[in-house]
Each structure stands twice: as C-alpha cells, then as structure tokens.
Structure 1
Amino acid sequence: MNFVDVPFEKIEKAKTHLNVLIVTATSIETNTLLGQMTPLPGAQHILRVLKGLQTYHIGCFGKFPIVHLQCSMGSVGINSSLPAIMDSIDLFHPKAVIMVGIAFGVDEAEQSIGDVLISKYIYPYDSKKEGPKETEHRSSPQSCHPLLLARFESIIGASRNFRVKAGPILTGETLFDNIEARNKILSAFTDSVGGEMEGAGLYAASVRKGVPWILIKGICDFGDGNKQFEKKARQSVAAANAFSFTKELFLIETSLRDLGIFPAEEIAIHLGVFDSPHDPKGVLFDIYEKEYEEYYFHRNIDDELKGIKNDLWFYGSSGVGKTSVVLKNFSMSAEFKIISLNAYIGASVNEALNFLYGELLGVAGLEVNLKELSLMEKSAIFEKIRTALIAVSANASMTIYIDEIALENPEEHKVFVQNIGALLIHCGSKDPADRPKVRFIFSSIFDPRSLISVSQRKLSERLAFFKMELWGKEELEGFIQYLSNFLKIDLSVKEGQLVVSASRGSPRYVKMLLRNYLSTNEAGESGLKSAIDVTNRMML
C-alpha cells in the first residue's frame, strides 16, 4: 500500500478528533491492519506521519478514524510498548488505546490456532522473587477498562469461524517456545487463557496517562516448541482473526460513543485539514477501479489480451504495472476473486502454498484448518480444490487472480511453479464436464517459464505468459504527459526528463513522485528535485 507522507504540523489542529490509538508489535500485525484501513473522509490515501522515533499511519478502521503505531516487541526497550505508547499518548491524547495482534495459547485441547483472546486483565509475570525453595510472583492482576471490555464481550456470541474468549493474559519479556517453561509459568497463573509480550507496557503507559486500554490477540502457537511449524501461516491467521473481531466492533457506529469517540462521517468537518490536493479526482490511483477508467494509460498489452481465453501468468519487475493491467482487463467480471500472498513475503514456499490452497478452498466457501491441510497428501488437496471450485463455478465462470508471489530464492520459485502446474493439470485433466469453470491469473517478479518440469510441458497449452518490462523512455514520456494534463501540471522538457530518469522505468514511481510534487509548496525544478528526494526515501 502507498501512503502520503505529511508533516505532523499539518494534522496537529485536527489530532483531537483522532481518538483511538491502535498498537501493533510485528510487521504481520501491521500489514494486516493497513490492509483493512481506508483513507479519512475526502482523502485519497492513508497518511503517514514521521515523528521522533515513531511512524504513524492515520486513516479509518471500520467506521472510526484511528492512529496506528507499531512499537518493537516487548515492554522493555528504547521503542518497546511502554515508551512508544507513552510518547504517542502525549502526542495525540487518544481516548482509547487498543493493542491488537498475536499471542500464544495455553490449552491445545480447548483452543485452536486463530482463536481470539480478550484481556479481562493481565498478569505481568516478570515481577518476582526467586527464593531458596520457591518463586514468589509479586505483581497483581491489572484490569483493562471495563467499558471497552463490556463492548468487546457484547459481540463474542456472533457467528464466525473462530472462537473468542475473554480472560486473564500473561505478559512478560519471555518468548516461549518450550513446553516445560510455559507450563512452569502456567502453574503460577492457572486461569490464564494465553500470553504475549507487550501488555505490561500497554497497561503501564495507559494507566499512567489515564487512558482506557484493552488487548485483543489471536493465538498463533502454544509456546510448546513448535513455533516454527507453519509460523508465517499461523501468525497471519491469528492476526487476521484478531483484527476481524476488532473491526466488528468498529463497524458499530455507537460502540465507542460513551468514551467520546465518534465515527469519521460524524466529525468529517473537523478532519478537513487532511483533505489534500495530492491526487485530484483519483488521477494517481494506486489500485485500478472502474471509476478511474479515464485515468488509465492504455498500452499495447491491453490490446494483446483481448480474446485470450487461457490462464495467464504475468511476470516482471516490481512497479511496472502488472496488477493494474490485470484489474483493468479482468476485474469487471462478476466473479473475480483476488488472493494476495503479500503476507507471505519472506515465508517458506510450503507456507505460501499451504496458505494458497486454503484460500482457494475459502473462495469456494469452505472452512479450512491450515494445520490439517498441511498433513494431507497433495493429490487429496488438489482433488478437494477441484471439486470445490466445480461447485462454486457451476452457474457462472470465475476468475481467480493470485497476486504477490514473492518468494526469496530460485529453488523456491521452482517448487512453487511445479506445484501450481500440478494443480492446474489436475483441474484440467478430467472431462470438460468435470472441470471447474475457473480462469487462473498469476503475477510474479520471477520468470516461471524455465521452471516448469518436463512432465508438465502441456501447461504451455493452458498458460499464456506475459513479460512486463520496465517502461521505455518514450512510453514514460507519454504517461507523464497523460497524467500531467489531468493534474494541470506544466512540466518543462528538462523537468520531464528528470522524472523519466528518476523513475528508472517504473510507472509506480512516477505516480508517487507526482503526488509528492503536488504536496510541496515549491514549483519548478527545485520543487521537483525535492519531490524526487522524498520519493527515493519512500522507496527504500
């Protein structure tokens, strides 16, 4: 997701209406939240504010305007939850602080990966006396704010594919991945429902500043020595469920009114300071939608795709427009589904594949247990996917776009491509009546063609490959002029050449640069160079 960087001074007058601080501690938690945030009323983008040690994201979550902060893990450290939250409370004066993320569970028999825990209170277990014969824990339970607890408990009974339980949560500086160590601490706090590392800092900072607080976390493991098993997949499910549950409350417009917190639409007039000329009418859209059609720069590849019925695989460098081409040409069909593997950047190929198989079954409306799925034979998984997709596409053909295939090394690329090849062959190997009416579209940075095994060569009949090159000078010049006409920017020849040179063939960079240029108070070549500097920092 792209953001607009704004100085803190620009939001200072309206910060009193940004009444909820949502805190995360890991990149998976942060990416999950950012994927669900939307711009404030009248704005085109999520705002990013850099202040001191912190990076803040400002936008809407559900119905409410929020400020997001990511601290480092734990409560003790230069940017851990305690100092980071205290700094943020001093800066924004929120009326509620909510930490959302991942935790460990304590009962494998009664709990499942993805179940969500609400902190009735927390047990800070690090305050203790180690005596000659026994350990004496000296901290007392610390209760979260009763109104926040009541609001979240009021929606526990809703129907969903994971369980929610309120109870005491352990918090401390230990990252548990040893069942003996976990059970030892549980023997002292027998009614605990889970544990995590940032709650003590959340409690201390919020209580010190007099701000209501609560902790909502999804179970990603059981601290039992198996943390590395499907780590990324489990953490992604846990974070997704924690934010899904939190968002349920944030979609109820009256849920936080008793704390003086109001939906964005009710206070939009006070948020007007955020309205910006960065992107008039959505000219510099990040994600193609039908309403932005006139701002889409038509290219030869759009003509080449007309009439092609094959499955498709687009590949090429990041930022060259693969996703825009797919959305422009295929997303208008009624049954268009996107599966993003963005959360699995840096994960193992098996974690990414297992998540993908689960998402394909989810598209067909099936509930999926990723652990159970990982234990199945590949042939059984493929058959389950085939039959599920046949059922869901019986009345209307479907297009499934699998985006952000970003594995780290060539060997993983090969494993991924050959598994996808095996799935496509399985789905297409039956009689036409027994094939799902589904078109698959893939996009990746790596070239998949040479990775297809000899036994899968028939895939070339089913898949059409499109290499997306870095844009050339002439095409970039046309693109820049096309956007400038809508934005009413008059760039000189030299200034246009500066943009082309800085972009290094990336249309995404061009849009970010123009957005930053519009946000400066300086026109001409000097303003353009300042915008280039800002854009280069954003791209790091």
Structure 2
Amino acid sequence: MNTQHPVIVLMSVNDTETHALLDAFIGLGLPPVQVTKGGRTYNDLGIHGGCSIVHTICEMGAGGVGASQQRTSEAIEHWQPKAIIAVGIAFGMDEKKQAIGDVLVSTQIQDYELGRLNEDGTLTPRGDKPSSSDTLRNRFRQTDNTESRRVGDWPKVRFGLLLTGQKLVDNKDYRESLKAISQEAIGGEMEGIGLYVGAEIAKVDWIIVKAICDWGHNKSRAEKDAWQKVAAKNAARVVKTALDVDGLYGGVTAHPVSSLQAIVAEARPNPIALGLWQKKLAFLQQEEALAVDPVQRFSILQRIEEAKAKIQEFGGCL
C-alpha cells in the first residue's frame, strides 16, 4: 500500500455495493489486495488520480457495532485520509421526477430520527443540516458536467439534501412523512449521519454518493436485485470517474521510467480476455432477443453495454 499519495477511503455496506466498487476500481471479478491495520481489514484499490484508494465495509446504519460511525473513526485513525466517501444505494423520493439508477450526491444531510413529535402526529426535525465537503462537491459537479457532454450513457446525477436515519424505510406513508419534513430532499439512506459525525470530529472531508434502487416502499418486488445492481454500478462509476482526475488533494499520477514496460504491456490487446467478452456479448444479445419482461431486458441491456466497453478496452472492434 503506497501511503506517499493522499489517501481517500471509500465505504460500502452490502455485497452489491462492494462488488460494484471492486469491479469499477480493480476490474470485473478480480480480487482486491487486502491490508490489515489495527485489527481491521481493508481493500487496497490502487492509485487513481494520484490518490491511494482504500475501501472499508461497514454494517448497516450509523451507530451500531461496526456501523458507519465506528468504521469512519477507525479508518481515519489507521489511514489519516483526506476524505471518506460513502458509496452505494439509496431510496428515491419521487417516482415521477426521478428514475432508478439516478445518482444522488449529498450537498447536505439531515438526520430524520432527531426531532420533536408533535401532538398532531407530525415531526419537527431538530438536527442541523451539515454540508458535505466543498472540495468533493466541486469535483463531482465538474465531473458530471464534463462526462454528461462527453459520454452518451452517463447516469443522471442529482445534487441535494439527503435524509439519513437508522430505519430501513419500506413504507410509502412513512416515506411521504419524510418528504413532508423536507420538501427539498432528493433521497434517503442509513449511514450518512455516522459518516458525518466520525469525519467532522477529525476534520476530514466527507460526501455521500448513492444511487436510487427503490422508492422507500415495496422493497421486495421482483426487480429488487436488478435495480440494486444498476444503482450500485452507477454510483461506483461516478465515484471512479471523479477520482481518476489528477490534482485532488495534490495527488498526481506518476509513471516512472521503470514502469514504462508495464504500462505498454497493459495497453496491448489481450486476446484471451477479448475472446471471453466476445462470447459473453453474443450470449447476452441472444438473451436480450428472447427477453419479454421489461425489467429483465433492462438488466440485460446494461450488461451488453458493459461487454461492449470491455471488448473495446481489450482491443476488439464492434
């Protein structure tokens, strides 16, 4: 692990989020290098944009054992990072104006647990609305503006207030009550307040980047797995693209002369990998032609685009 570069810690919760991050940063299906510090095991995701990227997995929520506040504090102690980013999936607030896979970037967060329960049953929030790091917000805004002009399939990225709390929201009436608390909220998740508390105490930059995988109700629907994969992949893609640009926290990617041979070899076509991805593309195109269910077809189309990108990456033509 090269700690001469500025360190940025990425945090995920479930397997879908974790695998999406690993696929984005080290390659599809490849195992990460593990590093243990202070009894905690991390994944070394390499140097990106001149920064060392470290990954930690936390338990669901903010305040329990192994949850986001504890993991944030531990990662800060072990790595002295410049920033910590929570990456993964969230629930959206408006099915009519938002879409599954839209990426939500926190400009502020609000704890929906802390408040006053009024006589009429309404809740008046009493927590503040801390703002995420200006440095990170700026990087993500710049990345979104650039990539939306450069790439045709760039995800929709929405910046705004994220609600955060300990409850797994799976009830439409409750989600609507949260919307009433804050009309400006773009979505909700469960780890943000722990991330904020741990980072704020140590004066470390933080931000949340999570994509919409459901609407805070009817979470057990048939599309659940497919929607979570799309959301996690989009969030990981946005984070990877943003961190690939040099200069964040002074990090610069260096290519020493001794590494030139490895760089050239990496750029050469890989016939074995190319052949595997070409076979996978052909199979997926057959599956897409037979698919009737729109959700299944959507998932297959996402995988087809991934296969096409990999074929081009390994020197093939479409």
**TM-score normalised by L of structure 2:** 0.78
SS state at 1:73 partner: coil
Equivalent of residue 159 in structure 2, options 163, 166, 171: 166
CA contact (8 A) 1:232 1:351 kept: no
Question: Which range moved further: 235-244 or 61-70?
Answer: 61-70
Aligned residue in 2 for 1:321? none
Superposition pairs of residues 522-537 of structure 1, within 5 angstroms: none
Equivalent of residue 102 in structure 1, options 89, 111, 114: 89
Separation in 2, partners of 1:79, 1:268: 42
Separation in 1, partners of 2:139, 2:101: 21
- Answer yes or no: is 1:190 the counterpart of 2:183: yes
Separation in 2, partners of 1:267, 1:20: 22
SS state at 1:118 partner: strand
CA contact (8 A) 2:43 2:55 kept: yes
SS state at 1:34 partner: helix
Equivalent of residue 33 in structure 2, options 32, 47, 61: 47
* Partner AA of 1:15 in structure 2: T
Separation in 1, partners of 2:257, 2:225: 38
* Partner AA of 1:145 in structure 2: S
CA contact (8 A) 1:61 1:247 kept: no
CA contact (8 A) 2:20 2:236 kept: yes
Aligned residue in 2 for 1:37? 25
Question: Which range moved further: 134-143 or 80-89?
Answer: 134-143
- Higher Rg of the two aligned structures: 1
CA contact (8 A) 2:115 2:123 kept: yes
- In structure 1, the gaps of 5 or more residues are 1-10, 273-280, 282-288, 292-326, 342-349, 366-395, 399-540
SS state at 2:24 partner: coil
Change (3 A) 1:397 1:186: closer
Separation in 1, partners of 2:193, 2:234: 22
Aligned residue in 2 for 1:225? 218
- Answer yes or no: is 1:239 the counterpart of 2:227: no
- In structure 2, the gaps of 5 or more residues are 263-267, 285-292, 309-315
Superposition pairs of residues 323-338 of structure 1, within 5 angstroms: 328=272, 331=273, 336=278, 338=280
Aligned residue in 1 for 2:139? 151
Aligned residue in 2 for 1:83? 70
CA contact (8 A) 1:36 1:61 kept: no
Aligned residue in 1 for 2:300? 357
1:355 Cα deviation (Å)? 6.2
Separation in 2, partners of 1:267, 1:101: 34
Question: Which range moved further: 162-171 or 356-365?
Answer: 356-365
CA contact (8 A) 1:54 1:84 kept: no
CA contact (8 A) 1:182 1:223 kept: yes
Percent of paired sites with the same residue: 31
CA contact (8 A) 1:32 1:239 kept: yes
Superposed CA deviations along residues 180-204 of structure 1, whole A, max 9, x for unmatched, are: 0000111011100000000001111
1:263 Cα deviation (Å)? 3.6
- Answer yes or no: is 1:21 the counterpart of 2:14: no
CA contact (8 A) 2:246 2:253 kept: no
Separation in 1, partners of 2:52, 2:80: 14
SS state at 1:139 partner: coil
Separation in 2, partners of 1:250, 1:168: 22
SS state at 2:245 partner: coil
Aligned residue in 1 for 2:43? 57
Separation in 2, partners of 1:27, 1:363: 19
Question: Which range moved further: 214-223 or 351-360?
Answer: 351-360
Change (3 A) 1:51 1:220: same
Separation in 2, partners of 1:290, 1:225: 45
1:246 Cα deviation (Å)? 1.4
Equivalent of residue 177 in structure 1, options 152, 164, 170: 170
* Partner AA of 2:60 in structure 1: M
Separation in 2, partners of 1:168, 1:119: 6
Superposition pairs of residues 320-469 of structure 1, within 5 angstroms: 328=272, 331=273, 336=278, 338=280, 354=297, 357-359=300-302, 362=305
1:30 Cα deviation (Å)? 0.7
CA RMSD of aligned residues (A): 3.4
SS state at 1:23 partner: strand
SS state at 1:32 partner: helix
SS state at 1:65 partner: strand
Aligned residues between the structures: 286
1:147 Cα deviation (Å)? 1.4
CA contact (8 A) 2:37 2:78 kept: no
Change (3 A) 1:71 1:101: same
Aligned residue in 2 for 1:209? 202
| Higher RCO structure, 1 or 2 (CA under 8 Å, sep 6+) | 2
**TM-score normalised by L of structure 1:** 0.48
